[in-house]
C-alpha cells in the first residue's frame, strides 16, 4: 500500500482539501486497498482545528465527502511512514525539508509538479478563492494518479 501525505501551512485548507479529494478519487476508482491518504501542517497555527469552512463548503458543493480531520503538525517520523510527501508551495517545501531531514528529500514534492504546468497552489486562507484552489488540487491529483499508474505503482 502507498502512503501519501499532503502538507500545507496550517492543515485546514489545501492539504485537507487534497486529502478529501484524493480519498474520493481512490474510492470511486477502486483503489482504496492500494493508497492511504493523510495530511499535516508545517506550522502550529491551527493544530486541532477542523478543515476550514471554505474547504468544507467547496467539497460539499462538489459532492465530495470531507474526511474527518483535525489539523496536526508534520513530524520527522512522517518521513519514514509516508512514500510521498506532497506540499502546495515553496514555503511548504522549505519547511518540509527542515522538519523531515535530508534523508527524506526524495519523497518530497509539490502537487503541481505532477502536471504540465508546475506552480504553487495559492493559499485560500489569504486569497479566499477556494474554487481556484479546488481546480489546482484536482489538476495536481489527476497528474499524480497518472504518474503512479505510469510508474506501475497502482498495479
> Is a pLDDT exceeding 90 seen at residue 21?
yes
pLDDT for the residue 32: 94
Q: Which residues are catalytic?
A: 8, 14, 123
pLDDT for the residue 25: 98
HSE-CB of 21 using CA atoms within 13 angstroms = 26
* 155: confidence class by pLDDT, cuts 50, 70, 90: confident
Residues ≥6 apart with Cβ < 8 Å to 146: 114
Residue whose C-alpha cell is 471554505: 54
Give the number of other Cβ atoms within 10 Å of residue 40's Cβ. 23
CATH superfamily to which 2-149 belongs: Response regulator (3.40.50.2300)
Residue whose C-alpha cell is 483535525: 70
Question: Phi and psi at residue 150, in whole multiples of 5°?
Answer: -65, -30
Mapping DSSP to helix (H, G, I), strand (E, B) and coil, where does residue 118 land? coil
Give me Rg for the CA atoms of the chain. 14
Q: Do 26 and 4 meet the contact criterion of CB atoms below 8 Å apart?
A: no
The mean predicted confidence, pLDDT, of the chain is 97
Kindly list the domain boundaries of the chain, sorted by start residue: 2-149
Predicted TM-score (pTM) above 0.95: yes
> Is a pLDDT exceeding 90 seen at residue 113?
yes
Helices 53-61 + 130-150 axis angle, to 10: 70
First to last CA, the chain: 11
Amino acid at each position: 500500500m502507498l502512503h501519501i501525505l499532503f502538507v500545507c501551512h496550517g492543515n485546514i485548507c489545501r492539504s485537507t482539501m487534497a486529502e478529501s479529494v484524493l480519498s474520493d478519487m481512490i474510492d470511486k476508482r477502486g483503489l482504496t486497498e492500494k493508497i492511504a491518504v493523510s495530511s499535516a501542517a508545517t506550522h502550529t497555527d491551527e493544530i486541532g482545528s477542523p478543515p476550514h469552512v471554505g474547504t468544507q463548503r467547496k467539497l460539499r458543493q462538489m459532492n465530495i465527502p470531507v474526511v474527518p480531520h483535525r489539523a496536526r503538525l508534520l513530524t520527522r517520523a512522517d518521513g519514514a511512514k509516508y512514500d510521498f510527501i506532497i506540499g502546495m508551495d515553496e514555503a511548504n517545501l522549505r519547511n518540509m525539508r527542515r522538519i523531515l531531514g535530508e534523508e527524506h528529500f526524495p519523497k518530497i514534492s509539490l502537487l503541481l509538479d505532477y502536471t504540465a504546468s508546475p506552480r504553487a497552489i495559492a493559499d485560500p486562507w489569504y486569497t479566499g478563492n477556494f474554487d481556484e484552489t479546488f481546480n489546482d488540487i484536482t489538476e495536481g491529483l489527476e497528474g499524480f494518479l497518472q504518474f503512479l499508474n505510469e510508474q506501475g505503482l497502482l498495479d
